[in-house]
Structures are given as C-alpha cells and as structure tokens.
Amino acid sequence: MKFFVDTADVAEIRELANASLLDGVTTNPSLIKKADRPMKDIIAEICDIVDGPVSAEVTATEASEMVREGKILAAIADNVCIKLPLTMDGLKACNELTGEGFLVNVTLCFSAVQALLAAKAGATFISPFIGRLDDINLDGMELIADIRRIYDNYGFDTEILAASIRTMNHVREAALIGADVATVPPATLRGLVKHPLTDKGLETFLADWKATGQTIA
Ligand code: E4P
C-alpha cells in the first residue's frame, strides 16, 4: 500500500519525506485555505520535495474550464496529478485529460457506482471519502470493499486512493481490503509508527543494556 499525506503544509511534508514515509501528496481547496499561501507556490514546492503524484484540485465546475485549469496546474511539474470532482463535467474532463496522458485523481466519491464511472472515464486514482461517510452513520469501509470488488471484476487499473482517513484503524482496514493508496493526515501518519508496548519494551532494553556496562564499539 502506498502512503500519501493529505496536507498543504510544506514543512510537514518535508519532514515526512525525510523519514521516507511518502509516496505522494493530496491537497484540496480547504487545505490550501488553511495554508494561506498562493496555491501554485505550494504545489511547486511540494513537487520539488516529493517524486510521487501530487494532487492539485481544479475549482472550475464546467468541463472545458476544468481542462484549462487542470493543464495550468499540470504545467507546474511533471508529477502534478489533476484533481477533479466526481460530477458529470468532472468525468468529461477526466476522459479528456487522461486521454492526453495527464494524471487525474477523481475526488469526492461516495458511492461504488460513482467509482465505476470514474474508472470508465480513465481516472488514474479514485478517492472514496471514508470518514465523511462514517460521519453520517454510513460505512466508509464498505465502500472501499465494494470498489475493490468492482474494479477486480472488470480489470480496471484505476487505483483506489482511500481518503478522508481519520484513524489508524481506517488505514488497517483499507489495507486489508486492498486499497492501493491511503492518503492520511500528518498526525495520523505519524501515529502509525507508535505502539505503547514498543516504547515500554525499548525502555526496558535500554535500561538493561546500560546495566551490563557494555558498549558496541
Ligand atoms: C482527499 O484527497 C481529501 O483531501 C481528504 O482526504 C478529505 O478529508 P476530510 O474529509 O478529512 O476533509
């Protein structure tokens, strides 16, 4: 499973990339608002840090405008992945942009049939939002499982990018189902390495080692 980080915070991305934890990055207009800097600068900086796909979202709602904006974003760097919303216009733009060889991430997916349409439109990635479904008492993980089954049934190579991840358990379950990628907020990504028994065990090992008086020279 590949790990993307879901943030527009360049300092966070640099730190996680230094720890070799990142296969890519996803951003969205809300994350850009939070970063409070020009989007093109942010995307250019991220693309310098990370070799993998960096999703940058269009804000037009009509297909030809989405294509125009998408191409502007893609011109920033070779690894920009154009993010398009899952609407009729978004699918139309997806078809056109992937036909021309651009990377496309179709976002805001909340149903298996939406994911089927995105794959038919040639999407590179489909982003089903787990947490936002859980928020309204639906089962986000069931959606991941349905999409996995449908894509395998028909041999689609669109990658399932599990999004709107809130917990470590979301990552675990998405991996068990076979999602290709998880895009994870920085704090959750850091949390994946932690376990209290690891900390406790290390503490004991270090104390016992010190008591031996030995060194590894
Ligand atoms: C995905 O690409 C989205 O940016 C993201 O995962 C949305 O997550 P949220 O529901 O926590 O805002």
Domains annotated on the chain, with CATH: 2-212 (3.20.20.70)
Q: pLDDT, tens digit, for every residue of 177-201?
A: 999 999 999 999 999 999 999 999 9
Across the range 10-21, mean pLDDT stands at 95
ipTM of the complex: 0.97
Band (83; pLDDT cuts 50, 70, 90):
very high
Closest ligand 1 atom, residue 27 Cα: 4
Across the range 125-150, mean pLDDT stands at 98
* 28 Cβ closer than 6 Å to some ligand 1 atom: yes
* 57 Cβ closer than 6 Å to some ligand 1 atom: no
* 129 Cβ closer than 6 Å to some ligand 1 atom: yes
Identify the residue whose C-alpha is closest to ligand 1 atom 9: 164
Write out the two tokens for 28.
């969205």
Given this model, what pLDDT does residue 215 score?
96
Closest ligand 1 atom, residue 30 Cα: 12
* Residue of 183, 184, 188, 189 to test ligand 1 pocket, by largest number of atoms within 8 Å of CB: 183
* Residue of 7, 9, 28, 124 to test ligand 1 pocket, by largest number of atoms within 8 Å of CB: 28
Q: What is the pTM of this model?
A: 0.96
* 6 Cβ closer than 6 Å to some ligand 1 atom: yes
Instruction: Provide the annotated active-site residues.
Output: 83
Q: pLDDT, tens digit, for every residue of 158-178?
A: 999 999 999 999 999 999 999
Task: Name residue 58's amino acid.
Answer: V
Mean pLDDT for the chain? Answer: 97
Given this model, what pLDDT does residue 179 score?
98
Cα of 170 to ligand 1 centre, how many Å? 13
Given this model, what pLDDT does residue 47 score?
98
Helix H, strand E, coil C: the string for 110-176 is CCHHHHHHHHHCCCCEEEEEHHHHHHCCCCHHHHHHHHHHHHHHHCCCCEEEEECCCCHHHHHHHHH
In whole angstroms, give the CA distance from residue 49 to residue 26: 13
Identify the residue whose C-alpha is closest to ligand 1 atom 10: 164
